[in-house]
Structure 1
Amino acid sequence: MRAALLGAGGVPVTGLGLGAAAIGGLYEAVGEDEAAATVEAAWDSGIRYFDTAPHYGLGLSERRLGAALRTRPRKDFVLSTKVGRVLEPHDGGGDDRANGFAVPATHRRRWDFSADGVRRSLEDSLTRLGLDRVDLVLLHDPDEHGEQAFREAYPALEELRSQGVVRAIGAGMNQSRMLTRFLTDTDVDAVLCAGRYTLLEQGALETLLPAASAAGKSVIVGGVFNSGLLADPAPGATYDYAAAPSELLDRAVRMREVTEAHGLPLRAAALRFPFGHPAVASVLVGARSAAQVVDAVALVRGPAPGAVWDDLRAQGLLPGGVPVPEPVLDGSQG
């Protein structure tokens, strides 16, 4: 896979990246061997960008990802993790399913967007990863902590970048409004927008993506399946980590009918869609098995008839002004 650069920072990311929440037990448990095989399949498929966070499985995702990458040449891959939640030991027993992860509740999360919290979180992540550095550090979900994130956490990240501790900085959220502020009011290299620029909804197209283009910054897109709905729109499918509303489920089913009429699985259209915007540097795919990785890579590399987008527009399922990808993605994206 060829790589795109994050903003002006010179950090190369492959067009398809591996989001490592699933190997941290998102929704259901994943075994050690299966997690390792997932990362190995990503590597064998040419993926060289990997994203994780302390939040994912209470550190399990970081530990597993670090173990799988530790034997690879460090210069050959790009790794991002996140700050804003500090993990503290917890011996109360139970599991973490209330937070979406099928793992033992060995720790509890504490929000901390202070400068000290940023540094401590990064140090803890490096310990769990077993690596000497990460390339990109993102402020993770500062929705209810915005002012502290801008006042304390962001300057701490800027200092770490100026010291060469990290190569690039940014923020990752499930909304576009505050991410747009990061692009316009700070010197971040990139933002990670999850769930707000998908085949199902394009809220990020209003301000976030134009702001990124104007500033010469990059957008990493996550949550392209809207947490499951666009992967398999069936009763019980999830949207934004909860049961999908019936109107959205119906919309996704109609989309599937259109894409499959062109021989294109809905999940393929969902994976490919964000590449239509020039500010998108990488699309993250979450996978819990090697088979899911192989499937995603094949879907994003295969052809997508241009008429599929036209038909989605004709049926009112895709707005007319939304950019769409080329029928065959070039090497920088597949």
Structure 2
Amino acid sequence: MKQRKFGHAESSVSEIGFGAWAIGGSWGDVAESDAKAALHAALDNGTTFIDTADVYGDGRSERIIADVLKERSGPRPFVATKAGRRLDPHVAHGYTAANLNAFVDRSLKNLDMERLDLVQLHCPPTEVYYRPEVFDAMDRMVASGKISSYGVSVEKVEEGLKAIEYPGVKSVQIIYNIFRQRPARFIQEARDRGIAVIVRVPLASGLLTGKMTRETTFAANDHRLFNRNGEAFDKGETFAGVPYDVALEAVDEIRSLVPQNATMAQFALRWILMNDGVTTVIPGAKNAAQAKANSEASELPPLTDSAMAVLRALYLEKIAPFVHQQW
């Protein structure tokens, strides 16, 4: 597994991380045994970065991570979590020092840690980025030793640009994949400023595995069924915001570009890693086989210039009209 430096930090993390949303909830039922096997497989194959959130399964994801890490020896991987989405309603004025400290305390307990490696504001309302007192509260948690560092998880490029104006922000998590190419320039800007970039939704909620069809069905508790139009949270989190039928047509065009020694999912992950401003990519996995396959994407050779050009043209023609100006 190749490593990349985490922003200005001296430490490095695996360029393929483990996104722990699926083992928490909102992706259909995942047995705890399968969830733990998936995480073990990722760690066995060189993953050293885990991303979770306090709302993934109402803490289930964090607790599973804690259990798995207790079962293992050797250096502990870097664990990032998120805070803010427990607010109900999820509004900017709820991002107070008291609320954020309470969320962090809960994550400390769930993860069974004395100090959290990284806490990310979890896609807060845009107004939050214009409230310095929120970032002051995070600075105070770093100073107190409760957290080692903090960052933000954003929906929009503009939010990322505003966030990195705060000197305490060490990382930005953003959606970036073959179907969401607009963040490319932001990622380069973050790199130039020494900000780590964590890429989520790398496979467009599974579309870029190439396994979905018009006949694919999803469980009632899978966001790919209940959030296609943003009914529960930002619709860009589901299928990267691309209409399902449009995306399926684009996937069919991508198939011919995938080399014989790779799956489409690995090919899609390798496309993201072509951007040297990306620190780590966090695909999810529901079982050990998926986690192992994701990890192996790190060993693929670079994509060819011709493949990159075709994917750019496909995006501009078929996908950009639906997503480019929204996020």
Other-structure match for 2:179: 200
Contact 1:70–1:130 under 8 Å retained in 2 = no
Contact 2:123–2:153 under 8 Å retained in 1 = yes
Q: CA 1:255–1:285 in 2, change beyond 3 Å: closer, same or farther?
A: same
Q: CA 1:264–1:290 in 2, change beyond 3 Å: closer, same or farther?
A: closer
Other-structure match for 1:127: 109
Give the partner amino acid of 2:273.
F
Higher strand share: 1
Residue number among 105, 114, 121 corresponding to 1:139 in the alignment: 121
Q: CA 1:217–1:115 in 2, change beyond 3 Å: closer, same or farther?
A: same
Structure 2 segments unaligned to the other structure (5+ residues):
217-223, 225-235, 317-327
Other-structure match for 2:139: 158
Q: Determine if the alignment matches structure 1 residue 45 to structure 2 residue 42.
A: no
Other-structure match for 1:66: 66
Residue number among 75, 78, 98 corresponding to 1:116 in the alignment: 98
Other-structure match for 1:211: 189
Contact 1:39–1:68 under 8 Å retained in 2 = yes
**Post-superposition offset of 1:310:** 4.8
Q: Deviations over 1:219-249 (max 9, x none)?
A: 1111111112112342267573268342232
Alpha-carbon separation, structure 1, partners of 2:302 and 2:192: 29
Alpha-carbon separation, structure 2, partners of 1:165 and 1:143: 24
Contact 2:177–2:272 under 8 Å retained in 1 = yes
Alpha-carbon separation, structure 2, partners of 1:275 and 1:268: 11
Alpha-carbon separation, structure 2, partners of 1:53 and 1:236: 31
Matches within 5 A, 1:263-274: 264-274=262-272
Alpha-carbon separation, structure 1, partners of 2:159 and 2:82: 16
Other-structure match for 1:312: 310
Tell me the SS of whatever aligns to 1:227.
coil
Matches within 5 A, 1:147-296: 147=129, 150-194=131-175, 197-206=176-185, 208-232=186-210, 233-235=212-214, 238=224, 240-241=237-238, 244-259=243-258, 264-296=262-294
Matches within 5 A, 1:294-305: 294-303=292-301
Q: CA 1:127–1:44 in 2, change beyond 3 Å: closer, same or farther?
A: same
Other-structure match for 1:90: none
Tell me the SS of whatever aligns to 2:188.
helix
Give the partner amino acid of 2:257.
V
Give the partner amino acid of 2:243.
A
Contact 1:11–1:135 under 8 Å retained in 2 = no
Alpha-carbon separation, structure 1, partners of 2:203 and 2:163: 25
**Post-superposition offset of 1:120:** 0.6
Q: CA 1:188–1:311 in 2, change beyond 3 Å: closer, same or farther?
A: closer
Give the partner amino acid of 1:306.
T
**Post-superposition offset of 1:79:** 0.5
Contact 1:136–1:169 under 8 Å retained in 2 = yes
Alpha-carbon separation, structure 1, partners of 2:83 and 2:207: 28
Contact 2:129–2:162 under 8 Å retained in 1 = no
Q: Root-mean-square deviation (CA), in Å? A: 2.6
Q: CA 1:3–1:161 in 2, change beyond 3 Å: closer, same or farther?
A: farther
Alpha-carbon separation, structure 2, partners of 1:153 and 1:254: 45
Alpha-carbon separation, structure 1, partners of 2:80 and 2:100: 14
Q: Determine if the alignment matches structure 1 residue 6 to structure 2 residue 6.
A: yes
Q: CA 1:84–1:266 in 2, change beyond 3 Å: closer, same or farther?
A: same
Once structures 1 and 2 are overlaid, which stretch shifts more, 22-31 or 120-129? 22-31
Normalised TM-score (structure 1): 0.79
**Post-superposition offset of 1:110:** 5.8
**Post-superposition offset of 1:306:** 1.8
Q: CA 1:124–1:145 in 2, change beyond 3 Å: closer, same or farther?
A: farther
Contact 2:69–2:76 under 8 Å retained in 1 = no
**Post-superposition offset of 1:267:** 1.3
Q: CA 1:236–1:45 in 2, change beyond 3 Å: closer, same or farther?
A: same
